[in-house]
Amino acid sequence: MHGNRESTKKNLDVALKEVKQGFKTIGGVFGPLRQRVEALYEKSPLQGSKLLALVLVLLAVLWIGSGILFPHHAAPAATAAQHAAEKFRVAVTTVNAQEYQPRLVLSGRTEADKKVAIVSRTQAIITELRVKRGDTVKAGDVLAVLMDDGRSAQLSQARALVQQRKAEFEARTKLIEQGNLPKLDANSIASLLRAAEAALAQAEAEVERVRILAPWDGVVNQVSAELGQYLMMMPGSNGNEIAQMISLNPIIAIVEVSEKKLSGVRMGEEAELRLVSGEVVKGKVRYISKSAAATTRTYRVDIEAPNPGNKIPDGITTEVAILMAQLKATKVPRSALTFSAQGKLGVRAVNAENKVVFIPIELVDDEQQSMWVKGIADGTRVIVQGQDFVREDQIVEAVAATDQQNAQR
């Protein structure tokens, strides 16, 4: 019991020392408090923690009462007036519209300028196959040769028949002119000559069909036939495919443009192709579709770019930047953009009365550190620092952005 009393007294001493520091502001009003509490402790029938709890409650009541009787802070009205007198400082920059040519950046793909399937136009066996997949050929190069199958003999026969018909025509014409033959025979001998000439043309065409030629400069993308294969002409078919060719110079980049942006795209306008390999190629717009895709409601636009050596393949992903028509736009820092309370995108500015106003904008183009926008009048002081900490109609202190940056340094 005695030990508990001593421990309680020590705890009380520590508490009294800590509380005493708080009463220095109210003078010596509570000076003899400790002595009286100690005297009461000696005479009190309460022991241990009960007495300590009672003392702590009493001290708390006295501390709260001291704050009411002796306030330490100035009136709230004075503090509010002081804050109202201090204007929030924002950094502004004066902007003006200027002529700007925006770029329309879209994702697209490359495509060969021309694609064609090389087919045979007659029935025969392939006796020579002079190309393989990936070969580069020129216009008129022989890709394959088919078996002659007597076509040359038929050609010679057709030529001989034409010569015969010509001789007969000339001889009979003289006889008709001399009156030895009726004039009605003139039409029959002329028709025989024309029939022989037609047969010769058909024989010559048949001989030409045994040599499969390249129609233009390009690359053999696929060889579909094999050496010794017999090519048959089925009724209603367009021929047997021998090879596929593509032309990669120039290369075509295809993009889909929305109907909203289509008006700014013009024929012959410069464009830039950035390939997935990092290579950048210059080109021009060569085709703008006049009909929208049924599913996406977008319009196809083709960009033509030189491709010497066929370095750019068909079907590669590319980023296309098309220069659009010039317009008036304003350049503002990217960080100046913010949203209004209604969720509209725009900028906050300071008017002539140093009041904050919100200006909705329309995006034109974006750069790494800035944005090109429409909707801002010339001479507007746009807030570039602190725009997210002010509200509309608030009076602020506007300083030039350069001065604000120097102050921060």
pLDDT exceeds cutoff 80 at 130: yes
Whole-model pTM over 0.85: no
* Number of residues in the chain: 409
Residue 296, Cβ neighbours under 10 Å: how many? 9
- The hierarchical CATH code for the domain 88-100+327-408 is 2.40.420.20
Domain locations along the chain: 2-69, 88-100+327-408, 148-209, 247-323
Q: Is the pLDDT of residue 78 over 50?
A: no
Strand 88-95 vs strand 396-400: parallel, antiparallel, or unpaired?
A: parallel
Closest CA relative to residue 192, chosen from 170, 169, 171, 213? 169
User: What CATH topology corresponds to 148-209?
Assistant: Helix Hairpins (1.10.287)
Is residue 33 packed enough to be buried (19+ CB in 10 Å), middle (13-18) or exposed (0-12)?
A: middle
Name the residue type at position 281: V
Residues with Cβ within 8 Å of 215's Cβ and at least 6 positions away in sequence, in order, are 116, 118, 139, 245
pLDDT at 12 over 70: no
- Condensed to tens digits (0 to 9), the pLDDT of residues 101-129 reads 888 889 999 999 999 998 888 888 888 89
pLDDT of residue 11: 59
pLDDT digits (tens, 9 = 90+) for 182-196: 777 777 888 888 888
pLDDT of the residue at 122? 83
- Of residues 15 and 93, more confidence is placed in 93
Q: Is residue 286 over pLDDT 60?
A: yes
- Angstrom distance (rounded) from CA 52 to CA 101: 82
pLDDT tens-place string over residues 291-306: 999 888 999 999 999 9
Q: What is the pLDDT of residue 409?
A: 33
Distance CA 355, CA 347 (A): 14
Rounded to 5 degrees, φ, ψ at 316 are -85, 145
How far is it, in rounded angstroms, from Cα 236 to Cα 218? 29
- Is residue 114 within 8 A of residue 216, CB to CB? The reply is yes
Instruction: State pLDDT tens for residues 231-253.
Output: 887 766 677 888 999 999 999 99
The whole-number pLDDT of residue 406 equals 37
Question: Mean pLDDT across the stretch 345-364?
Answer: 92
Q: Work out the percent of the chain whose per-residue pLDDT is above 90.
A: 32
**What percent of the chain is predicted at pLDDT more than 70?**
78
Average pLDDT along the chain: 81
More confident residue, 361 or 55: 361
Q: Report the pLDDT value the prediction gives residue 18, as an integer from 0 to 100.
A: 58
Whether the CB-CB separation of 380 and 95 falls below 8 Å is answered with yes
CA-nearest of 384, 342, 347 to 363 is: 347
pLDDT digits (tens, 9 = 90+) for 153-182: 887 888 888 888 888 888 888 887 777 777
Per-position DSSP letters for 52-85, written without gaps between them: HHHHHHHHHHHHHHHHHHS--S--HHHHHHHHHH
- The string of pLDDT tens digits covering residues 40-68 is 556 555 555 665 666 677 777 676 766 55
For position 3, what pLDDT does the model report? 45
Average confidence (pLDDT) over 21-27: 51
Within 10 Å of residue 103's Cβ, how many Cβ atoms? 19
CATH 3.50.50.60 fits 247-323, yes or no: no
What tokens does 6 get? 């001593």
Contacts of 323 (CB under 8 A, 6+ apart): 101, 102, 103, 269, 270, 271
pLDDT in the model for residue 137: 92
Indicate if the pLDDT at residue 330 is higher than 80.
yes
